[in-house]
């Protein structure tokens, strides 16, 4: 047998046609294979030739362990056999790759949702393993693979139970497992149990979320020492896109003492569920355009948009005009007016607080915890409590037109004279400033550690979000609307830049040297001419991009090719940016039109006509649609069966 290719090309047991080598470990190789009998592709794990008796027994122990487990989150055994004195077993082929492909996390609701769903699923699978009286002992990103649907499966149970031989190794000072993901008690060779697997899960998910494991070093001994004695860095320091609730769960799993970790896999799953709820309520609604990627997508819009009816209307103290937007967090809405007020309104319709400014507040606000950040035409960026206590102000040189963007302990804000300022979140003190090529109307966004902003000279600038150092810039045409980011896959995104003359450019981005950068060749995915002025930001959901022109043209195109999907023409001019939720596109016009269109076909699902125009971007939140009319009327719409507050 060819030792280079192993079993490739062999017909195994008269049934399995062996294909390419997928991976190799210390005791076995994994191959792609075709099961001729059932006509399906499988993965086959076969022991190496000349394997020691101890390792052969460990391999057989893995097979027996898998055969005892029955859970959708654990890779099952299909078949067991022997070929030329080499034991093998077959299992499902998992084409989705390692769980590390779900990260590092960006400020993208869909990506965060996939990550948290996977974390919850694996936690439940570990509960099943532990209920069977077993401990995995070697949980790593390579041991949690994704199937074609993105469902994670735990595999490689070779260390799940120690033989007398491996116990002897442990007593002799040889620690079994993978150092980067090993619990302190396992590193010390004492007291390994279910809590050790939960620690490993925390280390694995830390690696996925941050792009780096909690501890790195020049040797295994250095890494093991850190696991035993050093506190892990706060994951938000490595990746500020990680929500606070998720960071707390990860750090809890990485507690040095088993008693400090969640009590079980089920308890871990529950903590991730709470983190998921908190992340959705805090991120999508509290930041302009659904988060720092500005995709325009939110997840909890009306379930039955065809049955929308007005629930309440509240008059605000002043007009609401472009580029304003309705924001929301924890039952509270924020809308700025031209009379120098940021109004905080309860989702039942009553004005709770009016935060004052020295001039028009037309830039969208940003909630952060129990405070709110907002800018005005007087050039002041303010941070205040929701009760109205001013925490600090920061003076820029001109009108503030973009929404404040929180990145770690910094707030990014743009001013009309072309400056991007980064100020300290706690003090408001300037940390760095960058001068663009022209005035800025668009809100900055963050992806891949880069702050990205477009100016009215058509330049798109990317800066190191921590230092303000320029990474790259590229020029298109005049930009008034905020760009949007769409995830393409692991470490790749499309930056959608809508230019005022009507062209939309999809710039291909990847992460290189720790930051978002266009590829050196073919940086443009596509260019699309809407043949209409663009004041509204693009919106993207999945593989569909929504473009809305000032003249009323609305078009849906494909994310990867810019190919036409559907078109619709509204009567009024569109300056309010479209919002997407649950496969529905919500649009508003300066003629007072409000409509909900099918994301997939453009069919009208619901429409109504207000007597006053709309320029502010709507909000979908908690099953409702919130719209601010130009005369300062804030309205809430809900489906007939969802009208209770």
pLDDT tens profile 558-601 = 999 999 999 999 999 999 999 999 999 999 999 999 999 999 99
- Grade residue 170 by pLDDT with cuts at 50, 70 and 90: very low
For range 456-466, the mean pLDDT: 96
Count Cβ atoms below 10 Å from residue 416 Cβ, excluding itself: 18
Output 14 or 395, whichever has higher pLDDT. 395
DSSP calls for 417-438 = TSEEEEEETTT--EEEEEE-SS
Check residue 109 and give its pLDDT: 75
Can you say whether residue 592 is alpha, beta or left, with left for phi > 0 and alpha for psi between -120 and 50 degrees?
left
Tokens of 193: 């149990």
Residue 171 clears pLDDT 60, i.e. is over it? no
Predicted local confidence at residue 57, as pLDDT: 76
SS3 492: strand
Q: Which of 35, 108, 138, 197 is catalytic?
A: 138
265 phi/psi in degrees, rounded to 5: -65, -40
Interacting residues of 600 by C-beta distance below 8 A, sequence separation 6+: 544, 565, 583
Handedness of CA 301, 302, 303, 306 (dihedral sign): negative
Q: How far is CA 277 from CA 176, 246, 254, 599, in A?
A: 37, 10, 22, 25
Domains of the chain in start order, with CATH, are: 11-92 (3.30.200.20), 99-282 (1.10.510.10), 284-642 (2.130.10.10)
Q: Which of 4-13, 186-195, 628-637 shows the lowest per-residue confidence on average (mean pLDDT)? A: 4-13
* Model pLDDT, residue 574: 98
DSSP, collapsed to helix, strand or coil, labels residue 268 as helix
Scored b (16 or more CB within 10 A) or e, 365-378 reads bbbbeebbbbbbbb
Contact residues for 489 (Cβ-Cβ < 8 A; gap 6+):
none
The contacts of residue 495 (CB under 8 Å, 6+ apart) are 447, 452, 460, 483, 484, 485, 506, 507, 509
Give me the pLDDT at residue 163, please.
Answer: 34
**Mean pLDDT across the stretch 350-356?**
95
- Name the band, by pLDDT with cuts 50, 70 and 90, for residue 317: very high
Give the phi and the psi of residue 192 in degrees, each rounded to 5: -75, 135
Query: CA 419, 455, 111: angle at the middle one, nearest 5?
Result: 95
Q: What is the pLDDT of residues 222-276, one digit of tens each?
A: 999 999 999 999 999 999 889 889 999 999 999 999 999 999 999 999 999 988 8
Residue 416 pLDDT > 50: yes
Q: Does pLDDT of 517 surpass 80?
A: yes
Active site residue 55: no
pLDDT tens per residue across span 287-312: 899 888 999 998 788 888 999 999 99
Provide the pLDDT for residue 642.
53
Token readout for 279 is 């992340």
**Nearest 10 degrees: CA dihedral of 586, 588, 594, 595?**
-40
Secondary-structure percent of the chain, ordered helix, strand, coil, rounded to 5: 20, 35, 45
Calculate mean pLDDT across residues 447-456. Answer: 95
Q: Judge whether 317 and 343 are in contact, CB under 8 Å.
A: yes
Neighbours of 238 (CB within 10 A): 18
What pLDDT sits at residue 176? 55
Percent of the chain with pLDDT over 70: 93
Model pLDDT for residues 617-644, shown as the tens digit of each residue: 999 988 899 999 999 999 999 987 554 4
Q: What is the mean pLDDT of residues 30-42?
A: 90
- 528: three-class secondary structure by DSSP: strand
Which residue's entry shows tokens 């078009």?
A: 555
């Amino acid at each position: 047998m060819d030792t280079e290719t192993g079993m490739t090309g062999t017909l195994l047991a008269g049934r399995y046609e062996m294909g390419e080598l997928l991976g190799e470990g210390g005791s076995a190789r994994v191959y792609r294979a075709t099961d001729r009998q059932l006509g399906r592709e499988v993965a086959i794990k076969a022991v190496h030739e000349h394997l020691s008796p101890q390792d052969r027994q460990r391999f057989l122990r893995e097979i027996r362990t898998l055969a005892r487990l029955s859970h959708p989150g654990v890779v099952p055994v299909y078949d067991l056999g022997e070929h030329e004195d080499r034991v093998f077993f077959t299992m499902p082929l998992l084409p989705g790759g390692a769980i590390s492909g779900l990260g590092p996390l960006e400020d993208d609701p869909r990506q965060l949702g996939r990550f948290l769903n996977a974390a919850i699923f694996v936690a439940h699978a570990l509960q099943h393993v532990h209920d069977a009286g077993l401990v995995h002992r070697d949980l790593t990103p390579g041991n949690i693979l994704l199937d074609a649907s993105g469902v994670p499966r735990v595999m490689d149970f070779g260390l799940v139970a120690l033989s007398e031989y491996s116990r002897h190794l442990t007593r002799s000072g040889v620690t079994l497992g993978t150092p980067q993901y090993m619990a302190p008690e396992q590193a010390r060779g004492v007291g390994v149990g279910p809590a050790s697997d939960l620690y490993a899960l925390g280390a694995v998910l830390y690696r996925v979320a941050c792009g780096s494991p909690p501890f790195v070093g020049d040797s295994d001994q250095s890494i093991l020492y850190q696991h035993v004695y050093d506190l892990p860095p706060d994951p938000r320091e490595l990746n500020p896109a990680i929500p606070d609730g998720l960071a707390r769960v990860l750090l809890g799993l990485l507690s040095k003492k088993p008693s400090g970790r969640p009590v079980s896999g089920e308890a871990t799953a529950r903590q991730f569920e709470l983190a998921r709820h908190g992340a959705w309520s805090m991120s999508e609604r509290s930041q302009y355009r659904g988060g720092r990627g500005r995709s325009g997508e939110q997840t909890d819009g009306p379930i039955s948009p065809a049955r929308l009816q007005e629930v309440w209307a509240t008059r605000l103290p002043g007009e609401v005009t472009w580029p304003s937007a309705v924001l929301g967090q924890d039952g509270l809405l924020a809308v700025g007016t031209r009379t120098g007020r940021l109004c905080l309104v309860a989702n039942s319709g009553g004005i709770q607080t009016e935060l004052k400014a020295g001039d028009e507040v037309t830039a969208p606000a940003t909630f952060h915890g129990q405070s709110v950040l907002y800018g005005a035409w007087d050039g002041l960026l303010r941070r205040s409590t929701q009760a109205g206590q001013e925490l600090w102000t920061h003076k820029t040189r001109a009108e503030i037109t973009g929404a404040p963007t929180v990145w770690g302990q910094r707030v990014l804000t743009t001013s009309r004279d072309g400056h991007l300022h980064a100020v300290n979140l706690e003090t408001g003190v300037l940390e760095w400033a960058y001068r663009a090529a022209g005035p800025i109307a668009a809100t900055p966004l963050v992806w891949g550690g880069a702050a990205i902003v477009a100016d009215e000279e058509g330049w798109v600038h990317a800066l190191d979000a921590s230092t303000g150092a320029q990474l790259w810039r590229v020029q298109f045409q005049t930009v008034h609307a905020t760009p949007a980011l769409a995830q393409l896959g692991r470490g790749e995104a499309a930056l959608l830049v809508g230019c005022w003359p009507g062209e939309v450019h999809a710039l291909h981005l990847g992460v290189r040297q720790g930051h978002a950068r266009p590829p050196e060749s073919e940086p443009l995915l596509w260019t699309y001419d809407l043949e209409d002025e663009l004041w509204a930001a693009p919106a993207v959901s999945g593989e569909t991009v929504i473009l809305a022109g000032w003249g009323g043209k609305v078009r849906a195109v494909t994310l990867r090719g810019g190919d036409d999907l559907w078109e619709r023409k509204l009567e009024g001019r569109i300056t309010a940016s479209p919002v997407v939720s649950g496969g529905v596109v919500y649009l508003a016009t300066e003629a007072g039109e409000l409509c909900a269109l099918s994301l997939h076909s453009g069919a009208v699902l619901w429409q109504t006509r207000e007597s006053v125009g709309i320029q502010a971007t709507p909000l979908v939140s908690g099953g409702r649609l919130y719209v601010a009319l130009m005369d300062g009327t804030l309205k809430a719409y809900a489906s007939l069966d969802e009208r209770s507050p």
